[in-house]
Structure 1
Amino acid sequence: MEVEAGGPCSKKRKSAAAEGRGPEATADPPLDAAEGGGDGYRISGLPDGVLGDIVSLLPTKEGARTQILASRWRHLWRSAPLNLDYRPFLFHAEGLDAIVSRILTSHRGPGRRFCAPIYHLHGDEADAWLRSPALDNLHELELFPYPRGIPQPAPLPAAAFRFSDTLGVATIGECHIPDSMAQALFFPKLNKLGLENVTISESSLQTMIDGCPALECLLIRRGSGFRCVRINSISLRGIGVEAYWGELIILKEVIIENAPCLERLLLFGSAEPAHISVISAPKLETLGCLSSYLSDSSTTLTLYSTVIQGLRVDSLTETVRTVKILSVRMIALSLDVVIDLMRCFPCLERLYIESIKPGKKNLWRRKHQNLIRSLDIRLKTIDWRYYVGTKSDVDFATFFLLNARVLELMTLQVYPSNFKEEFFTRQREKLQLDKKASGGARLHFTTYHFHGSFTDFCVRDLDLADPFERSYPYQFHALS
């Protein structure tokens, strides 16, 4: 495999790597501490097993490049569990197929992770990839869908299931899983399963889920051949569902009959199923995104005996006190809607909001005077996009700033055109920060946003304590 030098490595070493002779062909002195490299290289003194684990967690290119660090490292990449991701090589001049084949030939295995585009995994060469000894005992298999979609997905390669005894994570995309294959599947160690744009019958989907007794995270994005999913699992902790394919609602219903360990239920914005029913999920803490984006076909969410249509609480016969994290997407900002949801979820601690239009004037002082005295607002953090500073925005924000007594942080994401000192000066006056109910509350403005909003998830995100929480690497402006 081609490797490139980085850091304090000689030109001679670079040349040897480029010619495919590897670092063994150079006569450069080793750089590790044991051979005179100094204190900065004491990591080389760790046992091979520990160093191998470190190398296997690196991206494919970086893992291979560790061979040139020192003689102490030369054998580690070929003996450490292989982490092979196709994406860094997708547009390489040598060609993706040639590079993947060369990596699998040069590595001794075992395999840790193999990530490849599904449309490359058909034919003799693909079969040879999946049967390579370098992938023995594979732990993670990611067969990603083609970005533009495949009109007629091909069957999933049978060789992919030779890892069924060892897989812990599997993402399968853009393929057809026939009944004959699904009925024979059993994944005793699989704890994360993602199905994206998969064609599978309803009975086979149920069989596949039932064949994963240790499953903790299940992601179903779009797909066809099934209209209902029933969940009965004592191990599942996170479920994510997206139901639409273009303009069509493929998945009509999700019924969670018994999920005693379920903590997170994620619905992908305006692409949620038509009806979701939660009969038993006593540990459910995270819910979203509830949405009003499609007003004509909003999801009906039944939580025990409480019914929520889109963002409207139709029937509140029983509060859901376990939910602490909630994400909502609304077209027009509405304080009334959020207050109703807080009544439904009285123990809410984190609220994520996305609104694309200003709402009506939220005259909460007049309308909700009695409510303010009785409503126990337990919110600690509010993350809101997109704040533009209109009258309805200010009214909405001040309701929480002046009444949420344990509020710790409110993050307002604004458009870059508003990220100016004069904008912040006006907001400081309008938001009445000197009267905030929580003395420790902080107000942050940021320009960071991304197109996926609160709904851009992979199956690993279902294992996060708060999958909606995002870092903000761009500019901040804090008002206290």
Structure 2
Amino acid sequence: MGDDDARAKRIRLEEEPHHQELPHGGDGGGAGAPDLISRLPDEVLGDIITLLPTRDGARTQAVSRRRRSTRRPGHAGPGRRFALPGFRLRDRLAMVDGWLRSRALTGLREIMFSYSPENCWQPPPPPMPPFALRFAATLCVARFGSCGFPNEVAPSLKFPHLKELSLMEVTISEDALHSLLAGCLVLEILLLEYNKKAPEATKFQELVVEDAPRLERLLPLNPKRGPATIHVMRAPKLETVGLLSAAISKLEFGTTAFQEMIALSLGTSMATVKVLVLESLGPNLDSVVDFLKCFPCVEKLYITFNRLKTMKNARIYNPLDPIECLELHLKKVVVNDYRGMRPDVNFAKFFVLNAKVLKEMYFGVVPSCNDMWVANQRR
């Protein structure tokens, strides 16, 4: 090899990327694999570790000397998420409150807190830890369950960043709930299930969504757990609605009104809604079609049959009176508790024949259905 060739080879080697010098194996990489994560700055690596579940974060630090060195003494923070679901209270309220006072949780973004049902057998329910609401200024997600809400602080609470709020089996006064929702300035997801009014501890009868400019999902999940009346006056970004059922005695979207799932008037069109979840008595095809007129841009329709009534569902689609949802948008239909009886078949055939852009239709059936039954349904 000549001098020029040797010099060219030396230059090429010097220009090779420096990954050849990275450590292998011992700091978390596999055999022959560089540990690129450990090259991140301490601040970035620390943030990654705090976002991991506690067990995974501990494992990560156990296999890497570098990651152990970034662990903050006593978990000084910042903590991103505090989750304590199904907590058995006994006499430990002060202990939990102490955890929530920790400086490591300053700037908390998510909180999930609920008591074990064993704490809630006798009213009143145990109170929410007072310091659970000290993070109002920074929270993005808040989920509370099986506890009593401190009504007296609700009017002063402001949640400038809260996008998701879940209250499940929470006892709260009606005024406090309204004040709480008024303080959620950018709320996108609201989940309410089986909440009760304090001090009477009776089920909520009415939910009014007066002005929710960022609300995307309205989820009254269980048809038997109220509220009995829902009014949605303004929610310009609402995309998902359900479960709606006859247990909601009156349902209003602007000037559109339903009573026990039967349309009283069809005025306001909720064109932003893309996902609709219904429980249909019968099943009642006419009622479902009226909902599709109110929600003309639904792309995914989920229906559970409730067989308190018998419907023939022999509706004929009139192309001279088209339904926008069926003509342009509906792509997926899911039918639960499908048993293959004549009303069920007529209900399904209506969508198969008339939903112009339908791509998928799923049937939830009972496990006892045999191959002959399935073949007959396909036919």
TM range (shorter): 0.7 to 0.9
Contact 1:170 1:190 in 2 (8 A): yes
Rate the CA distance shift 1:349–1:219 in 2: closer, same or farther, 3 A.
closer
Rate the CA distance shift 1:283–1:31 in 2: closer, same or farther, 3 A.
closer
Report the counterpart of residue 301 of structure 1 in structure 2: 251
Shift of the alpha carbon at 1:409?
0.9
Report the counterpart of residue 395 of structure 1 in structure 2: 346
Shift of the alpha carbon at 1:149?
5.3
Contact 2:50 2:79 in 1 (8 A): no
Report the counterpart of residue 199 of structure 1 in structure 2: 171
Report the counterpart of residue 107 of structure 2 in structure 1: 137
Match of 2:33 among 18, 35, 39: 39
For residues 119 and 211 of structure 1, the distance between their equivalents in structure 2, rounded to whole angstroms, comes to 30
Report the counterpart of residue 91 of structure 1 in structure 2: none
Q: Percent identity?
A: 40
Report the counterpart of residue 312 of structure 1 in structure 2: 262
For residues 405 and 44 of structure 1, the distance between their equivalents in structure 2, rounded to whole angstroms, comes to 54
Rate the CA distance shift 1:168–1:125 in 2: closer, same or farther, 3 A.
same
For residues 286 and 215 of structure 1, the distance between their equivalents in structure 2, rounded to whole angstroms, comes to 14
Rate the CA distance shift 1:219–1:426 in 2: closer, same or farther, 3 A.
closer
User: What are the residue-to-residue correspondences of 1:157-172 with 2, within 5 Å?
Assistant: 157-172=129-144
Rate the CA distance shift 1:213–1:157 in 2: closer, same or farther, 3 A.
same
Shift of the alpha carbon at 1:119?
4.8
Q: Secondary structure at the match of 1:39?
A: coil
Contact 1:386 1:413 in 2 (8 A): yes
TM-score by length of 2: 0.78
Report the counterpart of residue 83 of structure 2 in structure 1: 115
For residues 274 and 149 of structure 2, the distance between their equivalents in structure 1, rounded to whole angstroms, comes to 37
Contact 1:358 1:393 in 2 (8 A): no
Q: Secondary structure at the match of 2:192?
A: strand
Shift of the alpha carbon at 1:173?
2.9
Does 2:266 correspond to 1:266? no
Match of 1:284 among 235, 238, 242: 238
Rate the CA distance shift 1:144–1:401 in 2: closer, same or farther, 3 A.
same
TM-score by length of 1: 0.63
Does 2:68 correspond to 1:74? yes
Contact 1:30 1:72 in 2 (8 A): no
Query: What is the one-letter code of the residue matched to 1:168?
Result: C
Contact 1:350 1:380 in 2 (8 A): yes
Query: What is the one-letter code of the residue matched to 1:259?
Result: A
Report the counterpart of residue 209 of structure 1 in structure 2: 181
For residues 275 and 128 of structure 1, the distance between their equivalents in structure 2, rounded to whole angstroms, comes to 39
Structure with bigger gyration radius: 2
For residues 351 and 51 of structure 2, the distance between their equivalents in structure 1, rounded to whole angstroms, comes to 43
Contact 2:190 2:215 in 1 (8 A): no
Contact 1:358 1:390 in 2 (8 A): no
Match of 2:322 among 371, 375, 380: 375
User: What stretches of structure 1 of length at least 5 have no aligned partner?
Assistant: 1-28, 80-104, 228-244, 430-480
Q: Secondary structure at the match of 2:218?
A: strand
Rate the CA distance shift 1:37–1:44 in 2: closer, same or farther, 3 A.
farther
Rate the CA distance shift 1:63–1:422 in 2: closer, same or farther, 3 A.
farther
Shift of the alpha carbon at 1:385?
0.8
User: What are the residue-to-residue correspondences of 1:42-441 with 2, within 5 Å?
Assistant: 42-76=36-70, 78-79=71-72, 106-116=74-84, 117=86, 119-120=88-89, 122-148=92-118, 150=120, 151-225=123-197, 250-270=203-223, 271-292=225-246, 294=247, 298-357=248-307, 360=310, 362=312, 364=314, 367-368=315-316, 371-372=318-319, 374-376=321-323, 377=326, 378=328, 379-418=330-369, 421-429=371-379
For residues 137 and 324 of structure 1, the distance between their equivalents in structure 2, rounded to whole angstroms, comes to 34
Contact 2:108 2:135 in 1 (8 A): yes
For residues 321 and 137 of structure 1, the distance between their equivalents in structure 2, rounded to whole angstroms, comes to 37
Rate the CA distance shift 1:388–1:55 in 2: closer, same or farther, 3 A.
farther
RMSD: 3.1
For residues 361 and 371 of structure 2, the distance between their equivalents in structure 1, rounded to whole angstroms, comes to 19
For residues 332 and 339 of structure 1, the distance between their equivalents in structure 2, rounded to whole angstroms, comes to 14
Q: Secondary structure at the match of 2:339?
A: coil
Shift of the alpha carbon at 1:50?
4.0
Query: What is the one-letter code of the residue matched to 2:62?
Result: I
